[in-house]
C-alpha cells in the first residue's frame, strides 16, 4: 500500500530536479555563448564523464563502507566483467556520439531551430522503446506524445517573435548539416535510452556500477575523439581554455543531468523523462522573457500560451493513462 505513494514521490522528485537542471543548463548555455574566449566542446564532454565517473565511484564506496572492498568492486566493475561492459558499450557509444553531435549541430543552426528539431528525440525514444522493449503503448500515451511535440514546436515558434527572429533569419549556409546532426543525435538518444532503460531495470547490476561503466567507456571514446580532432588546439592554448565559472557550472550540471537521466530511466520510464526537457524549455522561455535585461522584453504571446497548455495537457494525459 505504502509503496505506490513513495514511488510517485521519488518519480516526482527526480522529474522536478531534472526540469530544474535542464532550465539551469539552458540559461548557462546562453550565458556561455556571450563569452569572448570559447571553450573546446569535446573537453567539456570529457570532464562531464570524469565527474559522473567520480560520483559513481563515491557512491560505490559509500555502499561498501570499506575502501579496500570498494576499490575491488570498482576494478571488478571496470575490468573483470567484459560481458556487462560490452552491453553498456552500446548506449555509451550512442551517448558519446549524441553529446558531441549536438555541439556541432548547434554551431550550424540557430537556437530555436535546434530546440524544435531536437524534440524529435521524444518520437525516437518512443519508437526505440517500443521496438526494443516491446509492450503496448496506449492510444492516450501516443496522443500525449503528439501533443507534447506540437506544444514544444509552438513554444519555440513563439520565440521567433521579436529579437530571435533576426537570429533565425541568419541561418547558416550549412544548416542542412546541422539538421542532419540533430536527427542523428535524436536517433542516438532514443536508441541509447531504450537499451539503457532495459539494462538499468534488470536487477543484475546496480545503478552506480552501470553509471561507472557508462562513464568509463564514454571517457575512453571521448579521449580518442579529443586526440584525433582537437589535439592541436589543446596543444596551442591548453585543455582548459575558455573555462569560466559559467562553463564549469555547465559541465557540473551536465553531469548531474546525465546521472538524473539514469535514475529516471531506472525508476520511471524514458517517456516520462522526455517531458523534462520541454518543461525546462518553457520555464526557460518565461525566465528569459522576464529576466532579460534588454529594454525590449518579449511579451507572452498566444503561441506560447497555446504551446505551454498543450505540453501540460500532454503531461497530464501521459501520467494519468497507462
Ligand atoms: O535526454 P537524453 O536521454 O537524450 O539524455 C541523455 C544524456 O544522459 C546523455 O548526455 C548521456 O551522456 C547521459 N547519461 C548518463 N548516464 C547514463 C545515461 C545517460 O550520463 N547512465
* Ligand 1 centroid, distance to 198 Cα (angstroms): 14
- Say if residue 172's pLDDT is above 50: no
- Say if residue 168's pLDDT is above 70: no
Q: Return the pLDDT at 114.
A: 78
| Nearest one of 197, 232, 251 to 45, comparing CA atoms | 251
196 within ligand 1 shell (Cβ under 6 A): yes
- How large a percentage of the chain has pLDDT more than 90? 43
* Ligand 1 centroid, distance to 261 Cα (angstroms): 6
Q: Return the pLDDT at 126.
A: 83
* pLDDT tier at 24, thresholds 50, 70, 90: confident
H helices of the chain, in order, are 3-33, 41-64, 67-79, 82-108, 111-118, 120-133, 139-158, 163-169, 175-201, 207-229, 231-237, 245-267, 270-273, 276-291, 302-320
pLDDT per residue over 29-82, tens digit each? 777 777 778 899 999 999 999 999 999 999 999 999 788 999 999 999 999 889
* Ligand 1 centroid, distance to 297 Cα (angstroms): 34
48 within ligand 1 shell (Cβ under 6 A): no
- The span from the CA of 86 to the CA of 126, in Å, is 24
Q: Return the pLDDT at 164.
A: 47
**Section 147-154 average pLDDT:** 85
Given a contact cutoff of 8 angstroms between Cβ atoms, the answer to whether 257 and 18 are in contact is yes
Mutate to test the pocket of ligand 1, among 49, 54, 95 (most ligand atoms within 8 A of CB): 95
**Section 196-215 average pLDDT:** 93
Q: Return the pLDDT at 174.
A: 67
pLDDT per residue over 121-144, tens digit each? 888 888 898 888 787 778 888 898
**Section 8-17 average pLDDT:** 88
Given a contact cutoff of 8 angstroms between Cβ atoms, the answer to whether 193 and 273 are in contact is yes
- The span from the CA of 40 to the CA of 32, in Å, is 12
211 within ligand 1 shell (Cβ under 6 A): yes
- Say if residue 232's pLDDT is above 60: yes
Looking at ligand 1, which residue's alpha carbon is closest to its atom 21? 262
- The span from the CA of 188 to the CA of 17, in Å, is 24
Q: Which atom of ligand 1 is nearest to the CA of 125?
A: 3
Q: Return the pLDDT at 41.
A: 92
Given a contact cutoff of 8 angstroms between Cβ atoms, the answer to whether 255 and 48 are in contact is yes
Given a contact cutoff of 8 angstroms between Cβ atoms, the answer to whether 116 and 175 are in contact is no
**Section 253-279 average pLDDT:** 89
- The span from the CA of 267 to the CA of 261, in Å, is 10
**Section 227-247 average pLDDT:** 95
Candidate ranges 136-145, 150-159, 276-285; pick with highest mean pLDDT: 136-145
For the chain, give the mean pLDDT.
Answer: 85
pLDDT per residue over 306-320, tens digit each? 988 888 888 888 878
Looking at ligand 1, which residue's alpha carbon is closest to its atom 14? 258
* Ligand 1 centroid, distance to 262 Cα (angstroms): 7
Q: Collapse the DSSP code of 225 into the 3-class scheme (helix H, G, I; strand E, B; otherwise coil) and give the result.
A: helix
Residue 312 has which C-alpha cell?
501540460
**Spatial CB neighbours of 278, under 8 Å, sequence gap ≥ 6:** 119, 122, 148, 151, 152, 155, 311
Q: Return the pLDDT at 5.
A: 65
- Say if residue 226's pLDDT is above 70: yes
Amino acid at each position: 500500500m505504502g509503496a505506490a505513494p513513495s514511488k510517485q514521490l521519488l518519480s516526482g522528485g527526480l522529474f522536478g530536479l531534472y526540469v530544474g537542471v535542464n532550465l539551469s543548463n539552458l540559461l548557462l548555455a546562453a550565458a556561455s555563448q556571450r563569452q569572448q574566449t570559447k571553450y573546446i566542446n569535446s573537453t567539456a564532454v570529457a570532464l562531464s564523464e570524469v565527474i559522473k565517473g567520480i560520483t559513481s565511484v563515491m557512491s560505490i564506496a559509500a555502499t561498501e563502507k570499506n575502501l579496500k572492498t570498494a576499490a575491488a568492486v570498482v576494478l571488478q566493475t571496470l575490468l573483470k566483467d567484459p560481458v556487462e561492459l560490452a552491453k553498456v558499450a552500446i548506449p555509451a557509444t550512442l551517448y558519446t556520439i549524441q553529446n558531441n553531435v549536438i555541439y556541432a549541430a548547434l554551431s550550424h543552426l540557430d537556437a530555436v531551430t535546434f530546440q524544435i528539431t531536437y524534440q524529435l528525440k521524444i518520437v525516437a525514444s518512443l519508437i526505440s522503446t517500443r521496438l526494443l522493449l516491446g509492450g503496448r503503448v496506449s492510444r492516450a500515451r501516443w496522443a500525449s506524445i503528439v501533443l507534447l511535440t506540437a506544444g514544444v514546436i509552438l513554444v519555440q515558434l513563439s520565440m521567433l517573435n521579436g529579437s530571435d527572429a533576426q537570429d533565425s533569419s541568419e541561418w547558416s549556409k550549412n544548416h542542412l548539416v546541422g539538421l542532419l546532426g540533430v536527427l542523428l543525435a535524436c536517433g542516438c538518444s532514443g536508441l541509447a535510452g531504450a537499451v539503457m532503460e532495459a539494462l538499468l531495470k534488470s536487477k543484475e547490476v546496480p545503478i552506480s556500477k552501470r553509471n561507472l561503466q557508462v562513464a568509463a567507456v564514454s571517457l575512453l571514446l571521448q579521449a580518442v575523439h579529443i586526440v584525433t580532432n582537437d589535439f592541436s588546439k589543446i596543444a596551442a592554448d591548453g585543455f582548459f581554455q575558455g573555462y569560466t565559472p559559467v562553463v564549469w557550472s555547465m559541465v557540473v550540471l551536465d553531469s548531474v543531468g546525465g546521472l538524473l537521466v539514469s535514475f529516471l530511466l531506472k525508476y520511471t520510464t524514458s517517456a516520462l523523462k522526455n517531458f523534462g526537457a520541454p518543461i525546462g524549455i518553457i520555464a526557460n522561455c518565461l525566465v528569459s522573457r522576464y529576466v532579460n535585461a534588454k529594454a525590449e522584453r518579449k511579451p507572452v504571446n498566444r503561441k506560447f500560451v497555446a504551446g505551454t497548455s498543450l505540453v501540460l495537457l500532454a503531461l497530464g494525459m501521459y501520467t494519468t493513462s497507462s
